[in-house]
Homo-oligomer: A and B are copies of this chain.
């Protein structure tokens, strides 16, 4: 038993260089979609966030909603409508999206974090005009699908300075008070850039970028910015992963130090990524690091 204790302490002790590396630095964690489905894993991710926050890392949590939104739309009898894989959002749908994201998912995450001893505060893009949005510019009209016009980070800084964990629902707002549905990866990326985050971690439900999609062990550990286009062209990155990775590319170009896609289904994948030598998932850096 004492041996176990020593081994456990040894493990704690090995985290020291990582704790020092990220001390007082900002990490943006994007959590959402399918990674949210399993309650136990959700609690694990939240525990990890509280721990990171407690040891002096400034964690900003950005989340989408995913399944809950569809469930609610279903309940109120609104059929989701997709155009080229992007959700078309009419006013009525947007009302539901905002309610679920800012009133349900957001507050649930806040409650879990606070239940673990944290001081979390849930906000969305309209609070203190945090995410100023405008209609998404595209060929097709996507309704209240928005793109980020401006990030006003003062509220986040004020909350972080007072040791709160900001939990941000990916809803934007324009100056007329219209709410827009913002893709959570894009919201996280815009916020991470504005804050000059040390790391943007996308907690997903896949292991990362795979060389062979059928083989979960064929993981790319490291991808550099300049490899991304090539990997997309050669179809190693495909489907829903493309916008996600482009989001990362933009983040890195915009000043975020590094970014990674990790598997939220693996217990404590966030802690492993941040506080251990080996890391987990796929790490994206500005220059090739292999």
Instruction: Please report A residues at the B interface, Cβ cutoff 8 Å.
Output: 1-2, 5-6, 8-17, 19-20, 23, 44, 47-48, 50-51, 54-56, 72, 75-77, 95, 98-104, 106-108, 110-112, 114-117, 119-124, 126-129, 154-155, 158, 162, 164, 171, 173, 175-177, 179, 266-269, 271-272, 275-276, 278, 280
Contacts and interface: CB of A to CB of B under 8 A. Distances in A.
Q: Which of A2, A111, A162, A175 has the most CB of B within 10 A?
A: A111
A13 B48 contact: yes
A121 B123 contact: yes
A6 B127 contact: no
A169 to B, nearest CB: 8
**Which of A16, A124, A155, A267 has most B Cβ within 10 Å?**
A16
A51 B12 contact: yes
12 contacts: A9-B275, A12-B12, A12-B15, A17-B117, A19-B54, A20-B117, A98-B107, A99-B100, A102-B106, A111-B126, A121-B155, A158-B164
Contact of A276 (B8, B155, B171): B8
B104 A9 contact: no
A73 B271 CA distance: 40
B20 A54 contact: yes
Contacts of A56: 54-56
Nearest to A15: B12
A250 to B, nearest CB: 27
A176 B17 CA distance: 16
Contact of A16 (B9, B10, B16, B54): B54
B126 A123 contact: no
B122 A107 contact: no
Q: Which residue among A13, A99, A102 has the maximum number of chain B CB atoms within 10 Å of its CB?
A: A99
B111 A179 contact: yes
A42 B125 CA distance: 21
A267 B10 contact: yes
A12 B273 CA distance: 13
A55 B22 CA distance: 11
